[in-house]
Amino acid sequence: TVLDSCQGSSFQQYYGTGNDERGVASVVLADGNFLVGGDGVVPGALQEVLFIKTDPDGNVIWSKRFGTPGGSEKLQHLAAQPDGGFVALLSSDTWTGFDDASIASFDASGQLLWQKRLITPGIDELRRIVATPDGGWIACGYVQPAPPQKASACFIKLDANGNQQWAKAYGAANGDTYATDVAVALDAGYHACGYYYKPNGVRDAMMLELDAAGNIVSAQVLDYLSNDRVFWSVKASPTLPPNLYF
């Protein structure tokens, strides 16, 4: 469903192939068209990613599947590239048989250019990826060395070709921490949000400020409700006070 500026429905479309599928993310491409992404179970593979490009009215321009025979690929997030292509943040079992985070770059016609595994020390799931001013990317999620060890919020900086420049993980000794979104700040650093699982199983919202190298500048845990989570952060704007990041 696409909404206009008054939050009215411009169009509503259903896309699928008859298999068990789900929509995960959508993005406006550089040419003004839409890209819808999801994943689903198909014959001959455990799970594949599905990309559908549509015009502004929701009419399909092309659709492409991406996966590994006998393997599993799940979509986590999408981001547009200036040349009309896009990158996809994936969860893949191609390398180890367990879910590992990877980033894949596609051209404007949906053809794969490259796919890179994102190396973190353990089980990982990255949930968001956004473009950075240097032409690269930053992704966030969580990493867990091995249960029952605690999960830590994880941030990975990539260059324009998907090469890992740095990875940082921040956790707590007595609980799990998860990063759910990240945004570029005005000072070339980053602002992120997520949540913290306390030992009693209750969640608290969490906000982080990182410098350009991924080091923590400030961190806050917000205990407003009995069970809190934050899922989105927004890019800071010169028209807003500098303390309004989330």
Task: Tell me the pLDDT tens digit for each residue of 73-97.
Answer: 889 999 999 999 999 999 876 655 5
Q: What's the whole-model pTM score?
A: 0.80
Nearest to 138 by CA among 168, 96, 178: 168
Task: Tell me the pLDDT tens digit for each residue of 95-136.
Answer: 555 567 889 999 999 999 998 888 666 667 889 999 999 999
> How far is the C-alpha of 67 from the C-alpha of 64, rounded, in Å?
10
> How far is the C-alpha of 118 from the C-alpha of 61, rounded, in Å?
31
What is the pLDDT of the chain when averaged over all its residues? 80
The structure tokens listed for 209 are 């400020």
DSSP, collapsed to helix, strand or coil, labels residue 229 as coil
> How far is the C-alpha of 221 from the C-alpha of 204, rounded, in Å?
6
For the chain, percent of residues with pLDDT exceeding 70:
76
